[in-house]
A and B are shown apart, each in its own frame.
Chain A
Amino acid sequence: MTIIINALILMGVLGLISGTFLAFAAKKFEVKEDIRVAVAEKMLPGVNCGACGFPGCPAFAKAYVKGEAKNDGCLPGRRAGVPDKLKKLSEIKDDDLNAMGEKLGGDIQKIIEEIMK
């Protein structure tokens, strides 16, 4: 019994420490990403399955924004309406997107809702 409790405590504490450490590190080393890429990435299912032929969703998002990938490239997202969302994203001009980002305080989720309206 004590072994189980010990194990639980140990893993819990370790997880907590590493989580906090990473959270701080993420804040400290934050990189401003291209807002279009960030929005495109958020539109994807995020399962990182690689079915699109890119190493994970972030890579696909980047490739899409660069014009190297088609909007229906993501297989799992096809039925969930991802191609539609991505297409709408491409139709927005840079200035409008930036303005939108500023207005909504950089909240990606809200930006997506705004785009889909």
Chain B
Amino acid sequence: MGLFAIFVSAILVNNFIFSRFLGICPFLGVSKKIDSATGMSLAVIFVMTMAGTISWMLNQLLAVMGLEFLKTIVFILVIAVLVQFVEFFIKKTSPSLYEALGIYLPLITTNCAVLGVALLNVQNNYNIVQAIVNSFASALGFGMALVIFAAIRERMDNNDIPAPFKGTAIALITAGLLSMAFMGFSGLKI
């Protein structure tokens, strides 16, 4: 597959949230405000790209040593270290963003989208460039979904929503509609 095809398909066709349904927890948790959604997206983009790249390299090493069965545990270790690092970094550079992200920041560790991208890179036998592009694009898709959703939710605040649908209920319905809209991309032939 060409790089462009990987890029587009990771963002639109196989969008992590809307078609693979990975990483739903931060998607619902950090999407109340567009600012924190953007911050979260940037953090995820960094962690996912780095994790995808490093885990790809480690996978080569594992293959040489004949230890492929340790894949999952090694990838999780890499992700945890990266998340910890991002946490230090954000805490130092932007305490307000740190407050806004709250518990969802350490939870990137358990964001299955990050582990998912690392495992998908390996499963699809990507080479290093493809792996980096795929990781970055997937993260971009994740971030885009988060920001779109946060924007919609911010607007919903100003609308008169019937009482039974307020809060999470309408958010879930919106997410479902968005996901259906993204299904339109699945016919995309590149």
Contact = CB atoms under 8 A, between A and B. Distances in A.
A45 to B, nearest CB: 18
B65 A6 contact: yes
Contact of B67 (A7, A56, A59): A7
Contact of A22 (B65, B70, B84, B91): B84
State the main secondary structure of chain B at its contact with A: helix
Contacts of B58: 14
Contact of B77 (A7, A15, A30, A55): A15
Interface residues of B, number: 21
Interface string B48-80: 000000000010011001110010011001100
A49 interface: no
Given A18-B77, A22-B84, A29 B92 contact: yes
Given A29-B91, A55-B103, A21 B65 contact: no
Size class of A's contact patch?
10 to 19
Contact of B103 (A11, A25, A31, A56): A56
A6 B81 contact: no
Interface in A15-37: 15, 18, 21-22, 25-26, 28-31
A51 to B, nearest CB: 15
B4 interface: no
B176 interface: no
Interface in B102-130: 102-103
Given A14-B77, A28-B88, 18 more contacts: A3-B66, A3-B67, A6-B65, A7-B70, A10-B65, A10-B67, A10-B70, A21-B81, A21-B85, A22-B81, A25-B85, A25-B88, A26-B88, A29-B89, A31-B91, A55-B102, A55-B103, A59-B103
5 contacts: A6-B65, A6-B67, A10-B70, A22-B81, A31-B91
